[in-house]
Structure 1
Amino acid sequence: MALMLFSASLSFAPSVANAEVVGKVGVDWIGNDIIVDAIPDPNVKGVTCHVTYFDRSVIDRVKNGKWFEDPSNNSIACRQTGPIEIDDIDLSKGGEEVFKTGMSLIWKKLVVNRIYDKDNDTLIYLVHSRQVTDGSAKMAISTIPLYGQNVSWKNGKPK
């Protein structure tokens, strides 16, 4: 039983090496926590996103079931944390995945996507969960306005 719980807990660890747990807030007496990760954007230097997610305790898992799954309640705040240098990024409307981590043993993922809004010269970061069925409508966004900033583009600013 302990080995199964340990194996399950490994699936909740961030899958991106750059994500760093910078906060852990206990929310109740049974051991449920809110985790805060700092995630630097790998292709946009000078931008860091802080993402929160819920980490269920063993007691909560026994009490409420859904042994191998955490809730899809996430939040995100992204800020400029240094000079902005934009590498080669996806400029399509769908943007690109910046970060992904497991929220269940197999299927459910917490995902952060970056989208460049060219008309408003803004980077948009969207956090949501991805599920095989019944996709989650719980999401949050954060933006980094580039207007008036000294931004360095590796391939030149998109026109």
Structure 2
Amino acid sequence: MKKITTFLALLSSLTTVNIHAEEVDCVTTSWKLIGSNHKVCVQAYDDPKVKGVSCYMSQAKKGGLKGTFGLAEDPAQFSLDCRQIGEIIIDSKLPEQEVAFSEDTSLFFKETRVMRVFDKKRNTLIYLAISRKLIDGAPANSISTVPIMPWSK
């Protein structure tokens, strides 16, 4: 079992981009008598390949004893908003579609992944957050767009 877990962890690290998110704040949504409270947390991500773009994601986090010890499976409930925060500088080798960042939302087999899609025709970056675990046959998702505009100081 340990070998399988190690293999899956290695495979996951090769296929996803785990970028350190900056936790902005959390809001309690339900008080728990034992363990941490249920909450919604807001995290900020700076796009590692596109300078001048930051994304904010709010995501539900389970509390209780399992949540306190990191064993709870967080629900696939999130929202994404990305904005231009400065001059946009794009790596010349930016693919049309790739994982911009991801975050594990359970101990095993569930993550929230943010894909970056470049719409050349409209000169717009599209960020699509999806849950990597199917919920009722379709993944939970959220979208945000950033038109590439000149930035004046």
Name the CA distance, whole Å, in 2 between partners of 1:69 and 1:75.
Answer: 17
The runs of 5 or more residues in structure 2 that have no matched partner are 1-16
Q: Give the share of equivalent positions with the same residue, in percent.
A: 37
The runs of 5 or more residues in structure 1 that have no matched partner are 1-13, 62-66, 151-159
Q: Which amino acid aligns with 2:19?
A: V
Name the CA distance, whole Å, in 1 between partners of 2:40 and 2:90.
Answer: 31
In the alignment, is the contact (CA less than 8 A) between 2:134 and 2:140 conserved in 1? Answer: no
In the alignment, is the contact (CA less than 8 A) between 2:62 and 2:72 conserved in 1? Answer: no
Name the CA distance, whole Å, in 2 between partners of 1:137 and 1:131.
Answer: 7
SS in 2 for 1:116: strand
The reply on whether 1:89 has 2:91 as its aligned counterpart is: no
Number of positions where the alignment pairs a residue of Structure 1 with one of Structure 2: 127
TM-score, normalised on structure 2?
0.75
The reply on whether 1:36 has 2:37 as its aligned counterpart is: no
Task: Kindly report which structure 2 residues correspond to 1:19-58, keeping only aligned pairs within 5 A, or say none.
Answer: 19-30=21-32, 31-58=37-64
TM-score, normalised on structure 1?
0.72
* Alignment-derived partner of residue 149 in structure 1: 150
Over the aligned positions, Cα root-mean-square deviation in angstroms equals 2.2
Q: Deviations over 1:90-140 (max 9, x none)?
A: 12xxx1001111111110011001000111111000011102796643111
Name the CA distance, whole Å, in 1 between partners of 2:105 and 2:131.
Answer: 8
